Amino acid sequence: MQEIFRRKYLISLSYMAIAIVGVVAWMNIPLEMAPDLRLPSVTVNYNWGTTSPEVVEQEITRRVESVATRLRNVDQIRSVSNEGRSQVTITFEKDTPVEFRILELQEYLFGLSNELPPQVRQPRINRSIPQELQEQETFMAYSISGDRSKRELYRLAEEQIRLRLLGYPGLADVEIRGAEDPALTLRFNSPMLERHGLRSEQIMQEVSERLNWRSSGFIEQSGSRMSMLIPPEFNSVEDIRAMKIRIPNSHRQVSLDALAYVNIEDYPVKSLKRLNGNPALSMTFVRESGSDAIRLAERIRSEVEQIQALLPADVTLQLERDSTEDLRRQFGDLQFQSMFSLLSVFLILLLFIRRFRAPFVILGSIIFSLMMSLGFLFFMNYTLNVLTLAGLTVALGMIIDNAVVVFEQLNPKLPRTLSDRLRHVREELPYTLVPVFGSTLTTVGIFIPLFFAMEELQLFLVPLAIALTSTLISSVIVALTWIPYSLIWLVPSSAEKQERSLKRKMSRALNRLLVRLFYYRHKARWIFYILLIAVFGIPIFTIDEPDWEDTSWPEFTRAYFDNRSDIDPKVGGLTYKFFNETYFGTPWGRSQGESIFINIRTPQGTPMEEIDKMARNFETLARPYAHAFEYFETNISEFSGAQMRFYIKDEYLFQGEPYEFYGAAQFLAARTGNSGISVSGLGDGYSSGFGGGSMGRRVSLRGFSYDELLLLAEDIAARMKRNPRVQEVDIHATGGWQRSEMFQYVLDFDDEKLTLRELDRRAVMDAIQLDANPENIRGRVDMNGERLYLMGLSQAQSNYEEDFLNRARRSDQIFFTVDDIASLTRERTMSQIIREDQSYQRTLSIDFLGPPRLATNYIESVLDEVPVPVGASIQFGGGFFSWGQSDQLHNYLLLLFLTILSVWMIVSALLESWRDPLVVILAIPLSFIGVMMGALYHDINFDQGAIAGTLLAVGVVVNNSILLIHEKQRCRSLNIHGLRSWVRVYRNKMRTVMITSLTTIGGLIPLVVIGTNEFWNDLATVVIWGLGVSLTLIILLMGVWEKVEEKRSEILGERAEAIDS
Structural domain ending residue among the three candidates 812, 835, 859:
812
The full DSSP string for 588-608 is SPPP--SEEEEEEE--TT--H
Residues 116 and 145 in one domain: no
pLDDT of 124 reads 86
Supply the DSSP symbol for 689.
Answer: S
288 pLDDT tier (thresholds 50, 70, 90):
confident
Residues 48 and 26 in one domain: no
Residue 589 has pLDDT above 70, yes or no: no
Choice between 1034 and 506, residue whose per-residue pLDDT is larger: 1034
Residues 657 and 789 in one domain: no
User: For 371-413, what is each residue's pLDDT tens digit?
Assistant: 999 999 999 888 887 778 777 877 777 788 888 889 988 888 8
Q: Report the 10 Å Cβ neighbour count for 812.
A: 12
Does the residue 184 lie in any domain? yes
Kindly list the distances between the CA atom of residue 150 and the CA atoms of 245, 266, 280, 445, 686, in Å, as whole numbers in the listed order. 33, 7, 8, 58, 34
Residues 115 and 141 in one domain: no
949 pLDDT tier (thresholds 50, 70, 90):
confident
Residues 645 and 772 in one domain: no
E strand intervals along 504-594: none
Residues with Cβ within 8 Å of 1032's Cβ and at least 6 positions away in sequence, in order, are none
Does the residue 842 lie in any domain? no
Structural domain ending residue among the three candidates 78, 93, 128:
128
Residue 694 has pLDDT above 50, yes or no: no
User: For 961-975, what is each residue's pLDDT tens digit?
Assistant: 888 898 898 888 888
Does the residue 336 lie in any domain? no
Total number of domains in the chain: 5
Cα 86 to Cα 832: distance, rounded to the nearest angstrom = 10
Residues 62 and 90 in one domain: yes
Residues 205 and 299 in one domain: yes
Measure CA 977 to chain center. 53
pLDDT of 881 reads 36
pLDDT of 915 reads 82
C-alpha triplet 310, 311, 313: angle, nearest 5°: 115
Helices (H), 728-851: 751-756, 761-772, 801-806, 818-821
pTM for the predicted model, two decimal places: 0.67
pLDDT of 878 reads 47
Residue 103 has pLDDT above 50, yes or no: yes
Does the residue 280 lie in any domain? yes
pLDDT of 1050 reads 56
Per the structure, the complete domain to which residue 800 belongs is given by: 136-323+752-812
Residues 480 and 615 in one domain: no
Does the residue 762 lie in any domain? yes
The domain that contains 360 carries what CATH number?
1.20.1640.10
Q: What residues form DSSP beta bridges with 227?
A: 218
517 pLDDT tier (thresholds 50, 70, 90):
confident
The domain that contains 228 carries what CATH number?
3.30.70.1320
pLDDT of 495 reads 52
pLDDT of 480 reads 92
Structural domain ending residue among the three candidates 529, 555, 571:
571
For the chain, what percent of residues have pLDDT higher than 90? 17
Query: Which of 81-85, 686-690, 824-828, 889-893 has the weakest average pLDDT?
Result: 889-893
Residues 378 and 414 in one domain: yes
Residues 228 and 315 in one domain: yes
pLDDT of 57 reads 92
Residues with Cβ within 8 Å of 662's Cβ and at least 6 positions away in sequence, in order, are 596, 679, 681, 682, 683
Does the residue 997 lie in any domain? no
Does the residue 599 lie in any domain? no
Do the bridges between strand 683-688 and strand 253-255 make them parallel or antiparallel, or are there none, so unpaired? unpaired
Q: What residues form DSSP beta bridges with 1057?
A: none
Cβ distance 1001 to 957 under 8 Å?
no
Q: Mapping DSSP to helix (H, G, I), strand (E, B) and coil, where does residue 188 land? A: strand
Cα 86 to Cα 47: distance, rounded to the nearest angstrom = 7
Residues 422 and 460 in one domain: yes
- Look up residue 497 and give its amino acid: K
482 pLDDT tier (thresholds 50, 70, 90):
very high
Please, what is the average pLDDT of the chain?
82
Residue 212 has pLDDT above 60, yes or no: yes
Does the residue 785 lie in any domain? yes
Residue 297 has pLDDT above 70, yes or no: yes
In angstroms, how far apart are the furthest CA atoms of the chain?
132
pLDDT of 14 reads 92
1060 pLDDT tier (thresholds 50, 70, 90):
very low
- Look up residue 190 and give its amino acid: S
User: For 33-81, what is each residue's pLDDT tens digit?
Assistant: 766 667 788 999 998 877 889 999 999 999 999 999 999 989 899 999 9
Residues 207 and 227 in one domain: yes
Cα 634 to Cα 737: distance, rounded to the nearest angstrom = 22
Residue 698 has pLDDT above 50, yes or no: yes
User: For 403-435, what is each residue's pLDDT tens digit?
Assistant: 888 998 888 888 888 888 889 888 889 888 888
pLDDT of 889 reads 60
644 pLDDT tier (thresholds 50, 70, 90):
very high
User: For 799-838, what is each residue's pLDDT tens digit?
Assistant: 667 778 888 887 777 888 888 889 988 888 888 899 988 8
Residue 136 has pLDDT above 70, yes or no: no
The domain that contains 100 carries what CATH number?
3.30.70.1430
pLDDT of 600 reads 92
Residue 201 has pLDDT above 70, yes or no: yes
pLDDT of 615 reads 92
Cβ distance 269 to 179 under 8 Å?
yes
